[in-house]
Amino acid sequence: MVLTGVIPKYIMPVYNSDWDIAGGVSVSEVQRAVKEICHRLCTPVIADEAHGAHFRFNKTFPRSALEQGADLTVQFTHKVLSSLTQSLMLHLSGDLVDPAQVSKCLQLLQSTSPNYLLLASLDAARAQLADEMSIFDKTVNLAIKARKLIREIPGITLLDLSYFGLNSFEMDPLRITIGTSRLGLSDHVSNNILYENYKIIPVLVGTRSLTFALNLGTRYMDVERLILGVKHLSNKFFHENSRIISICNARDSSFEPFESSQMELTPRDEFFAKRRVSTADSIGKICGDRINLHISIWHSIAYSR
């Protein structure tokens, strides 16, 4: 969008204020957006499926974008599959998108000197999946076991689709998201404790959640270490902070960050307008980057209006 200057049409997701997480988007919202933008039906669907390269390889996984009708999908093969970091695949399906045109466009952006280590690792990952279609069974069983044990730990909440009211949607079983606010802890503090004591590193630290990823290299001892770490948080803080838990969990449930959002600048305009200003001079400006409120803020990234 920055390179082409196109104007996006944003579709607002379902939001859960307790978790501070945006969920999925409904089919009706997508249909409404398409009608507002497109005057013809032959519009290609391009999916960013960075974390979904494994979806085709176990019946417990969500359906892949291609299985749901996408024309183009980008998958980061290194995130859950076994290729080297920075390697990915672009998949095409159907007749709507011309492969030759896609190849021509990619030549404008890609290097003429590809990294053959990355290419070889992609082929190795493909061969690994072709040789053993049940390769994820063990990992899925580990994820099921981990979820069962986490549900039994006092003060720990486990994210599922019921928090968003999206019963028709699917969730990747290899992603385990927990909340520790009932312990009176922010998840940044929980993250630090898990790393310092158990060398456990989440794939994502949210404002009210920690997400852990399992993959083909995950072992039972890794799950055991995760459970030990989470139990440590519960044992140390669940009763110790019982008096302040209600204060920590007091939130304005009416807050909806996407409720009145509107686009002030196109992505291209934002990219070229962004500049660094002092905190005092940032008043009335549009924030150009995320601000971490857990650290001291001396400057604000903003762009002029």
> Domain boundary residue among 131, 150, 181?
131
Query: Within this chain, do residues 123 and 147 fall inside the same structural domain, yes or no?
Result: no
Query: Within this chain, do residues 210 and 146 fall inside the same structural domain, yes or no?
Result: yes
| Burial track 252-285 (b if 16+ CB lie within 10 A, e otherwise) | eeeeeeeeeeeeeeeeeebeeebeebeeeebeeb
Flag whether the pTM goes above 0.85: no
Q: How far apart are CA 65 and CA 74, in angstroms?
A: 9
Whether 260 maps to a domain, the answer reads no
Q: How far apart are CA 261 and CA 7, in angstroms?
A: 15
pLDDT digits 0-9 by tens, 276-303: 889 899 898 888 876 655 443 333 333 3
Whether 58 maps to a domain, the answer reads yes
Q: Which domain does 282 fall in, by range?
A: 267-303
- Residue 92, pLDDT score: 95
CATH, residue 119? 3.40.640.10
Whether 37 maps to a domain, the answer reads no
Contacts of 229 (CB under 8 A, 6+ apart): 193, 194, 197, 198, 200
Q: How far apart are CA 78 and CA 277, in angstroms?
A: 37
Query: Within this chain, do residues 170 and 225 fall inside the same structural domain, yes or no?
Result: yes
Q: What angle do CA 170, 174, 175 make, to 5 degrees?
A: 80
Residues (pLDDT < 50) of the chain are 252, 294-305
- Residue 298, pLDDT score: 33
Whether 242 maps to a domain, the answer reads yes
